[in-house]
Chain A
Amino acid sequence: GAVVSQHPSWVICKSGTSVKIECRSLDFQATTMFWYRQFPKQSLMLMATSNEGSKATYEQGVEKDKFLINHASLTLSTLTVTSAHPEDSSFYICSAVNQLAGTDSQYFGPGTRLTVL
């Protein structure tokens, strides 16, 4: 149980285009999902908290107009990187909280590697 999928697993795009990444909880409902980015050999950096049916909460320094988050259902959150630039190249990872499990544990997707040319 507690499987989270991400799609796509990797994407290469041209500078200036937008990229959408999907995060799905496959066998549980998640009212709360998180989006992280991770640079090589560094730990996870929280970008935003995504709550189903409400606006995402962004961490300081993360541009909400650039990283659009939509948590439209209890099993799906999307992150859209708008007008991507090479500095947005990174590993993006989502996680979901299985609140019915009664813990604070987050279950992570496999990540999406974004390369912006």
Chain B
Amino acid sequence: QKEVEQDPGPLSVPEGAIVSLNCTYSNSAFQYFMWYRQYSRKGPELLMYTYSSGNKEDGRFTAQVDKSSKYISLFIRDSQPSDSATYLCAMSDVDSNYQLIWGAGTKLIIKP
């Protein structure tokens, strides 16, 4: 079993829909949770960063962490075709020396 599980998709939704992306993990020591967006042939771009449990909102994006369930989510409201990309979750613990454990990435397609 991988430390971080993420459905690779693709996930295809119509423009304007609310998108829900998720990752599950097995290591209860993880404290830092991140979501990155990667466009084709580009490096990943940090979207959201969350420490421990709770919600964090930034514009159309909301990140949720449920440590009791070992489950994290990224919600995208009013999705746009420009949101079409691969979304990767990543996480680490306090002793990781900044190394991240990555999900496989979910390919998201927003249809106009």
Residue of A nearest to B89 (CB): A43
With A32-B97, A49-B97 as given contacts, are A43 and B45 in contact (CB-CB < 8 Å)?
Answer: no
Q: Which of A43, A99, A103 contacts B102 (CB 8 A)?
A: A43
Question: Do A43 and B105 have beta carbons less than 8 Å apart?
Answer: yes
Give how many A-B residue pairs fall within 8 Å (CB-CB). 56
Question: Do A93 and B96 have beta carbons less than 8 Å apart?
Answer: no
Chain A residues in 8 Å Cβ range of B102? 43-44
Chain B residues in 8 Å Cβ range of A104? 32, 34, 92, 96, 98, 100
Interface residues on A, range: 20 to 34
Q: Which of B8, B45, B49, B96 contacts A103 (CB 8 A)?
A: B49
Residue of A nearest to B91 (CB): A104
| CB of B47, distance to nearest CB on chain A (Å) | 10
- Tell me, yes or no, whether A91 is within 8 Å of chain B by CB: yes
Complex CA–CA separation, A46 to B90 (angstroms): 12
With A93-B44, A108-B45, A113-B41 as given contacts, are A43 and B97 in contact (CB-CB < 8 Å)?
Answer: no
With A43-B88, A43-B103, A44-B88 as given contacts, are A32 and B43 in contact (CB-CB < 8 Å)?
Answer: no
Complex CA–CA separation, A43 to B7 (angstroms): 12
Chain B residues in 8 Å Cβ range of A4? 43
Question: Do A106 and B88 have beta carbons less than 8 Å apart?
Answer: no
With A43-B88, A49-B99 as given contacts, are A106 and B46 in contact (CB-CB < 8 Å)?
Answer: yes
